[in-house]
A = this chain, B = another copy of it.
Amino acid sequence: TAIKLLVLPGDGIGPEIMREVRHVIDWLQSRRGLTLDITEDLVGGASLAEYGVPIRDEVIEKAWAADAVLFGSVGDPKWAHVGFEKRPEVAILKLRQELGLFANLRPAKVFDALVDASTLKPDVVRGLDIMIVRETVGGIYFGNPRGIETLPDGSKRGINTEVYTTAEIERVARVAFDLARKRSNRVCSVEKCNVMESGLLWKEVVTDVHAKEFPDVELSHMLADNCAMQLVRNPRQFDVIVTGNLFGDLLSDLASMLTGSLGMLPSATLGAVHENGKFPALYEPIHGSAPDIAGKGIANPIAQILSFAMLLRYSLNKQEEADMIEQAVSNVLESGLRTADIMSEGMARVGTSVMGEAIVRE
């Protein structure tokens, strides 16, 4: 039976970089006998424009039914005034929550060919390879009570609640320790246990899981503010970082910017493996919808293409095809092709579709 793929390009540059992935998929279908049953649908501002909501229940159902979801990005200043419940971002938040996608894997890797793209000195970032494991269905993103209330004197109070349970921390910690075993075997757990009790519980539970199930992995703990500093001071000290939803949001963006080439970085958000073998998973680039360059044909399609390679690897167990794509990207970079975001002297500047075609050709 064909593998079911749900493709959600979303807003901004989403559709144009997704087009390049489709070319890669076409090639794999015709040359490698891969049979993918692909459905495409709207999310974010694109869905708001068509249906008045950032994501339809129908799309959530399709995501459940699919073997994997390939996501572009959401967010568009055009919809800034649409109200909190309807904002484009709800699309990705709902997908994460409804599919139980609790572990967001965000690699921050410096490509040798692009070491000069970083604002950090080459000596500080050369060879950088961090994996941030961010919890994505808990914490302050989803806790209750939340909202804005009006006080008797007419002034207001905004409230959000950070909540983490033992079980929520355990399962994401296991993902981090498992990954570390396949890498340099080190996990750094990050929280603010000196200020927040939820962080204190986080630290305790990670320590427990480590002692009971992963004593062979090296575990350290770091405060989130110090982690932000250490990522700037000496990022190569890290292998795997595991942290909550909010800290993960900031720290993974910070870490990816250290590479200087956001347009290169894919991510995976994984759910639990269910008893019937179902394994919900969503793949998306680290970068956002970049409305400022949308439609200009200059966006870098590589992060989206590498997100598809991650999908092949983690969800479809197609290691060979994933390798092929990653190797093709690497070869194209070696050959000197660059989109605007990673351009440097002496290289050949190309647009979205030339970059996509070059990767297919390779």
Residues of A within 8 A of B (CB): 75, 84, 87, 89, 93, 119-121, 124, 140-141, 143, 146-148, 151, 155-167, 192, 194-202, 205, 224-226, 228-229, 231-234, 246-247, 249-251, 253-254, 256-258, 262
Contact = CB atoms under 8 A, between A and B. Distances in A.
Contact of A119 (B155, B205, B226, B232): B232
Contacts of A194: 75, 87, 89
Given A197-B84, A228-B257, A155 B165 contact: yes
Contact of A158 (B120, B197, B226): B197
A188 to B, nearest CB: 15
A68 B164 CA distance: 39
Nearest to A170: B155
A214 to B, nearest CB: 19
Contact of A254 (B93, B119, B167, B254): B254
Given A160-B162, A161-B161, A226 B197 contact: no
Contacts of A124: 119
Contacts of A225: 249-250, 253
A87 B228 CA distance: 22
Contacts of A205: 156
- For the residues of A in contact with B, the DSSP-based class is helix
A286 to B, nearest CB: 10
Nearest to A89: B194
A156 to B, nearest CB: 5
Contacts of A161: 159-162
Contacts of A229: 253-254, 256-257, 262
A39 B75 CA distance: 55
A160 B196 contact: yes
Nearest to A194: B89
B254 A226 contact: no
A176 B167 CA distance: 41
Contacts of A199: 158, 160
A140 B162 contact: yes
Contact of A156 (B87, B147, B165, B234): B165
Contacts of A166: 155-157
Contacts of A251: 228, 250
